Amino acid sequence: MCLLRSRLTEGKKVRCDNFRPMVNKLFASPEAALADIPDGSTIMIGGFGHAGMPAELIDALIAQGARELTIVNNNAGNADTGLAALLKAKRVRKILCSFPRQADSWHFDALYRAGEIELELVPQGTLAERIRAAGAGIGAFYTPTAYGTRLAEGKETRRIGDRDCVLEYPIHADYALIKAERADRWGNLVYRKSARNFGPIMASAARCAVVQVRETVELGALDPESIVTPGIFVKRVVRVAPSMRKAA
């Protein structure tokens, strides 16, 4: 055959490039893994409380400098570090979360009262399902949650069977920053206890999922029955040693 030209892999949908010789998604540092995040990105950040919070990736995002971000997280930052520090640095335009108000959410509270941050408050299960819908290619879904409440105002509703439902749309992201326990070079992940929380669904909903892990293992070392996030959802893995975690 006379090969004229092969342009098959140049499709613009492949934004976060997987294709390297011998699949290897391991990155050397949080900084390297987040270097290309542009201003205006939508970024999901995993974690519920400290469990699953990718502290070192958030620190690297703060150092990286991207602005006008839209953040998706269950909360809106605690005390003065992590997401709260990102908010304090005025790098966040909008936040989608279920539970912003906490005893130590003072940076969010101040920005919110000053009108300097937009809040989209989403019931926690609807937040999870909207993220999952993005990852699973669902266009929209009807949920009974929040029907008849202030959080459903202005939304389409429909009675289905014995339940009144609200129409909700997926939340897609450009990047997901999550934490897992262990990964291999294909990006297969396992988590630890309740630190799993939003990690698997956020990885699936982002064009580029970046994962910090405590340990990397050889390909084949993870039990295929127990892999929670298959590597197809993961673009970049950074090992953050336990000692670094404590120091942070």
Partner 1 sequence: MKKLDKKQIAARVARDIPDGAYVNLGIGLPTLVADHLPRGREIILHSENGILGVGPKPAPGEEDEDLINAGKEPVTLLPGGAYFHHADSFGMIRGRHLDFCILGAFQVSVAGDLANWHTGGADAIPAVGGAMDLAVGAKKVLVMMEHLTKSGESKIVERCTYPLTGARCVNRIYTDLAVIDVKPDGLQVVEMVEGLSFDELQRLSGVPLRRLATAA
Restricted to residues 97-116, the positions that interact with a copy of itself (CB under 8 A) are none
State both tokens at 89: 């640095």
When computed from its CA atoms, the radius of gyration of the chain, rounded to whole angstroms, is 19
Is residue 70 near partner 1 by the rule CB under 8 A?
Answer: no
Q: Which of residues 137-196 bind partner 1 (CB under 8 A)?
A: 137-138, 143-151, 163-164, 184-186, 188, 191-196
Among 121, 138, 151, 244, binds a copy of itself (CB under 8 A): 138
CB-CB neighbours of 185 under 10 Å = 16
Q: Which of residues 83-142 bind partner 1 (CB under 8 A)?
A: 98-102, 105, 108-109, 112-113, 119, 121-129, 131-132, 134-138
48 binds, among a copy of itself, partner 1, none (CB under 5 to 8 A by kind): partner 1
CA distances from 51 to 156, 178, 196, 197 (A): 35, 11, 8, 8
What are the residues facing 159 on neighbouring strands?
164
Is residue 16 near partner 1 by the rule CB under 8 A?
Answer: no
Is residue 11 near a copy of itself by the rule CB under 8 A?
Answer: no
3 state DSSP class of 129: helix
Residue count, binding to a copy of itself (CB under 8 A): 26
CA distances from 239 to 62, 187, 214 (A): 19, 12, 6
CB-CB neighbours of 243 under 10 Å = 8
Q: Quote the CA–CA distance of 138 and 176 in Å, as a whole number.
A: 19
Is residue 56 near partner 1 by the rule CB under 8 A?
Answer: no
Q: Quote the CA–CA distance of 113 and 9 in Å, as a whole number.
A: 48
Among 158, 220, 232, 241, binds a copy of itself (CB under 8 A): 158
Q: Which of residues 179-198 bind a copy of itself (CB under 8 A)?
A: 190-193
Is residue 129 near a copy of itself by the rule CB under 8 A?
Answer: yes
- Positions touching a copy of itself (CB under 8 A) are 129, 133, 136-144, 158, 160-161, 163, 165, 169, 190-193, 223-226, 228
